[in-house]
């Protein structure tokens, strides 16, 4: 396994309250890593450390080491804007901007100055939508507002928006929790396809989803990693009893 991102001894505090305790985890390149665990166990907090989205939370303090390709993400010289262009994010609730479908996808390329002319931008927008499996559905209404789409389509629009800036890692925070089963299946398929080009970290509440889409799984409990490893191993033969209990639904 080639390591894309890695955390060593990651502690996170919200004011006085500690949310993560010395989390060590390696995230393999071109793999889907699933983070599972009961609510409030710190998996979303962990995810938000990877692209420093915790920076915008007042009173949040991070210590320990997070690296991307061996580079320290929390290095003060590192530019958070650049980091987030390399580590994209998809949120729990679809959050398309109140703009047209086209503008939603074009937003990232525009602010980062990725394309040089309109044709190039058009091509990039269409390509991103295609790769998010949305192009066919929206091809003839690119100028309609993104909010006019269904929930599942909105979430795929957000994925298209994320991949339009060619990130290396995509973080997904329970991306299917607001979707119906059919839309969920569609997004899960998409995640599997995207694995070829991107490293994906996904937080999920659904054990089945973790089992379906991920190659590796980390089980969080009370701000610590209880167990992590190959998904098949975690789900069939976990080392820890707590993992076993959680997976079989005895708590959480």
Partner 1 sequence: MTSSSDPQRLDRADARLRRRYRAERLFQASGVAAIAFAVGTLFLLLGTVVYQGTGAFVESVAVLPVALDAGALDPDGDRSPESLARGNYASPVREALRARFPEASGRREKRALAGLLSVGAEYDLRDFVLAHPEAIGTTVERPLLLSDDADLYVRGDVDVDVDESDRKVSDAQVAWLDALVARGQVERRFNRRLFTSGDSREPELAGLQGAIRGSFLTLLVTLLLSFPIGVAAALYLEEFAPRNRLTDFVEVNINNLAAVPSIVFGLLGLAVLLNFLGLPRSAPLVGGIVLALMTLPTVIIAGRAALSAVPPSIREAALGVGASHVQAVLHHVLPQALPGILTGTIIGMARALGETAPLLMIGMIAFIVDLPTSPTDPATVLPVQIYLWSDAPERAFQARMGAAIIVLLGFLVVMNGAAVALRRRFESRY
Partner 2 sequence: MIEALWGLLPLLAGLGFVLGRRRAEQLAAEGDVSLNSLPQHYGQFVLLWAAGPPLALLLLWALSGGTIVEGWAAASLDASGLLGVDQRADHVLSEVRGGLSSLDGAALSEAHAHVERTLDRARQVLGLSVAAGFALLAAGGLSWARSRVTPGLRARNRVESALRAGLFLSSCVAIATTIGIVGSLLFEAIRFFGLVSPAEFFFGTEWSPQTALRADQVGSSGAFGAVPVFAGTLLITGIAMAISIPVGLMAAIQLAFYAGDRARAWVKPLLEVIAGIPTVVWGAFAALVLGPRIRVIGESLGLDVASESALAAGLVMGVMIVPFVSSLSDDALNAVPRSMLEGSLAMGATLSETIRKVMVPAALPGIVGAFLLAVSRAIGETMIVVMAAGQAARLTANPFEAVTTVTVQIMMLLVGDQEFDSAKTLAAFALGLTLFFVTLALNLAALSFVRRFREQYD
Cβ closest to partner 1, residue 197 vs residue 215: 197
Q: How far is the CB of 79 from partner 1 (least distance, A)?
A: 7
Cβ closest to partner 1, residue 20 vs residue 163: 163
Assess contact for 55 and 225: CB atoms under 8 A: no
Cβ closest to partner 2, residue 23 vs residue 90: 90
> Does residue 56 bind partner 2 (CB under 8 A)?
yes
> Does residue 162 bind partner 2 (CB under 8 A)?
yes
Q: How far is the CB of 53 from partner 2 (least distance, A)?
A: 6
Cβ closest to partner 1, residue 114 vs residue 185: 114
Structure tokens at 252: 């959480």
C-alpha span between 49 and 17 (Å, rounded): 16
Q: Which does 244 bind (CB under 5 to 8 A by kind): partner 2, partner 1, none?
A: none
C-alpha span between 66 and 71 (Å, rounded): 8
Structure tokens at 220: 């969080």
CB proximity list for 185: less than 8 A, separation 6 or greater: none
Classified as helix, coil or strand, 194 is helix
> Does residue 97 bind partner 2 (CB under 8 A)?
yes
Q: Which does 91 bind (CB under 5 to 8 A by kind): partner 2, partner 1, none?
A: partner 2
Cβ closest to partner 1, residue 70 vs residue 113: 113
C-alpha span between 125 and 121 (Å, rounded): 6
- Cα pseudo-dihedral 216, 237, 232, 68, rounded to 10: 10
Contact residues toward partner 1 (CB under 8 A) are 79, 81-82, 86, 111-114, 166, 168, 197
> Does residue 93 bind partner 2 (CB under 8 A)?
yes
């Amino acid at each position: 396994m080639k390591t894309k991102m890695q955390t060593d001894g990651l502690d996170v505090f919200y004011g006085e309250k500690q949310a993560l305790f010395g989390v060590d985890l390696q995230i393999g390149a071109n793999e889907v890593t699933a983070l599972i665990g009961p609510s409030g166990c710190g998996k979303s907090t962990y995810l938000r450390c990877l692209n420093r989205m915790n920076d915008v939370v007042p009173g949040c303090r991070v210590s320990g080491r997070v690296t991307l390709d061996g580079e320290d993400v929390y290095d003060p010289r590192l530019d958070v804007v650049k980091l987030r262009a390399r580590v994209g994010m998809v949120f729990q609730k679809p959050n398309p901007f109140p703009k047209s479908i086209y503008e939603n996808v074009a937003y990232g390329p525009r602010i980062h100055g990725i394309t040089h002319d309109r044709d190039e931008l058009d091509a990039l927008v269409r390509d991103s939508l295609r790769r998010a499996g949305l192009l066919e559905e929206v091809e003839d209404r690119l100028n309609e507002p993104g909010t006019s789409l269904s929930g599942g389509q909105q979430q795929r629009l957000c994925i298209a928006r994320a991949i339009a800036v060619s990130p290396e890692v995509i973080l997904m925070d329970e991306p299917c929790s607001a979707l119906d089963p059919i839309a969920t299946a569609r997004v899960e398929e998409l995640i599997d396809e995207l694995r070829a080009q991107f490293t994906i970290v996904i937080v999920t509440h659904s054990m089945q989803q973790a089992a379906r889409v991920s190659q590796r799984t980390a089980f969080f409990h009370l701000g610590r990693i209880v167990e992590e490893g190959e998904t098949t191993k975690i789900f069939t033969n976990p080392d820890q009893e707590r993992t076993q209990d959680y997976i079989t639904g005895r708590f959480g």
